């Protein structure tokens, strides 16, 4: 389903054909290739539904990562949607615009797509049999950053109203940030970037990262401290090893067991109980 009835806000074309830009020299993740989808100018959502007997009514909007340059559309997208379906959750995969648009913050165009996506899902909740009060987001790396920015800037749209979907709230009811990027400065420290600022309205949050992640574990540590200060419920898991970009693919590193911890967290919030 296309997010925008016409061209997405600010799009003028000319970025090239949407395609897998993975190079033959790119490495494998858990012994398998990763699709690196690039040149996305027509953002979409794809809805993945669980089996009816298992459907909880809970929905998670999934934002793959890729540094705002590409989308790891299988590793951090379709595979995640299939896992969510297995625990009774409807998954909505967002194919947001990449690469970064010149002259705009890296998250600017993706934020418009994410706001629009959550609004569409919530406005169609009755038609699609979803609980409008159980719509969360899950993002990896840059996608985790996007989720945090969305949570911080959900009070108003960053684009002109298109239709009634933009009248529905785009605030997530909960969020899962898996090895999120760009939440704190690369120079070190724990201060949260202004665009991702935490406040008492920030939704309950689940955080995962490895200490040896080259994107820096301070991202989740700083965000967790900000959540605590704002009295927002959160759960933080930090593991000694695992690096970055593992998605749901299991390895010997215990950080890759995070889906089990995430399911427990969601269960504790009542999100895996049937409506």
The pTM of this model reads: 0.97
Q: Which residues pair with 40 in a beta bridge?
A: 98
CA R_g for the chain? 17
**pLDDT for residue 259:** 98
Taking the C-alpha atoms of residue 65 and residue 107, their distance in angstroms, rounded to an integer, is 12
Q: Which two tokens stand for residue 236?
A: 């933080």
The answer to whether residue 194 sits within a structural domain is: yes
- Beta bridge partners, 237, equal 208
Q: How far apart are CA 245 and CA 130, in angstroms?
A: 30
Under a CB-based contact definition with an 8 Å cutoff, are residues 57 and 134 in contact? yes
Q: How far is CA 7 from the centre of its chain?
A: 23
Reading the chain (275 residues) residue by residue, the pLDDT tens digits are 999 999 999 998 889 999 999 988 888 898 899 999 999 999 999 999 999 999 999 999 999 999 999 999 999 999 999 999 999 999 999 999 999 999 999 999 999 999 999 999 999 999 999 999 999 999 999 999 999 999 999 999 999 999 999 999 999 999 999 999 999 977 678 999 999 999 999 999 999 999 999 999 999 999 999 999 999 999 999 999 999 999 999 999 999 999 999 999 999 999 999 87
Angstrom distances, CA of residue 269 to CA of 134, 161, 201, 234: 10, 33, 17, 11
Q: Are 162 and 112 in contact (CB under 8 A)?
A: no
Residue-level pLDDT at 275 = 74
- The whole domain housing 193 covers 26-268
Question: Is 66 among the domain residues?
Answer: yes
Do the beta carbons of residue 255 and residue 239 sit within 8 Å? Answer: yes
Could you tell me the CATH number of the domain that includes residue 242? 3.40.50.1820
Q: Angle of helix 142-152 relative to helix 108-123, nearest 10 degrees?
A: 70
Per the structure, how many domains does the chain have? Answer: 1
Query: CA dist 4 to 65, 105, 200, Å?
Result: 21, 20, 31
Structural domain includes residue 1: no
pLDDT of residue 187: 67
Note if the bond before 121 is cis, omega within 30 degrees.
no
Quick check: is 3 in a domain? no
Query: For residue 195, how many other CB atoms are within 10 A of its CB?
Result: 17
Does a structural domain hold residue 275? no
Asked if residue 94 lies in contact with residue 45, where contact means CB atoms within 8 angstroms, the answer is yes
- pLDDT at residue 12, rounded to an integer: 85
The answer to the question of residue 104 being in a domain is yes
Residue 13 resides in a domain: no
**What's residue 24's pLDDT?**
87
CA distance 45 to 184: 29
The answer to whether residue 11 sits within a structural domain is: no
Q: Looking at residue 104, what is its pLDDT? A: 95
Determine if residue 8 is left, alpha or beta; phi over 0 gives left, psi from -120 to 50 gives alpha, anything else beta. Answer: beta
């Amino acid at each position: 389903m296309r997010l925008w009835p016409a061209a997405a806000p600010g799009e003028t074309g000319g970025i090239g054909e949407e395609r897998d830009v993975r190079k033959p020299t790119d490495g494998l993740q858990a012994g398998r290739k990763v699709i690196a989808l690039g040149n996305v100018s027509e953002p979409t959502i794809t809805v993945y539904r669980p089996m009816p007997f298992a459907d909880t009514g809970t929905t998670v909007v999934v934002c793959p990562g890729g540094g705002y340059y590409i989308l790891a559309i299988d590793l951090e997208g379709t595979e995640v949607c299939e896992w969510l379906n297995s625990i009774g959750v409807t998954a909505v995969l967002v194919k947001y615009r990449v690469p970064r648009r010149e002259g705009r913050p890296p998250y600017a165009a993706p934020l418009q797509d994410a706001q629009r996506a959550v609004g569409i899902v919530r406005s169609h909740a009755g038609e699609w049999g979803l609980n409008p009060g159980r719509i969360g987001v899950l993002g990896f790396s840059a996608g985790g950053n996007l989720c945090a920015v969305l949570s911080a800037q959900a009070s108003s749209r960053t684009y002109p109203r298109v239709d009634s979907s933009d009248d529905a709230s785009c605030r997530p009811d909960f969020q899962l940030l898996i090895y999120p990027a760009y939440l704190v400065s690369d120079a070190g420290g724990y201060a949260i970037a202004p665009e991702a600022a935490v406040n008492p309205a920030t939704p309950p949050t689940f955080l995962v990262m490895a200490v040896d992640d080259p994107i820096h574990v301070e991202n989740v540590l700083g965000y967790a401290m900000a959540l605590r200060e704002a009295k927002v419920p959160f759960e933080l898991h930090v593991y000694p090893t695992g690096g970055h970009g593992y998605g749901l693919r299991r390895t010997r590193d215990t950080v890759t067991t995070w889906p089990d911890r995430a399911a427990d967290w969601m269960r504790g919030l009542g999100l895996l109980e049937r409506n």
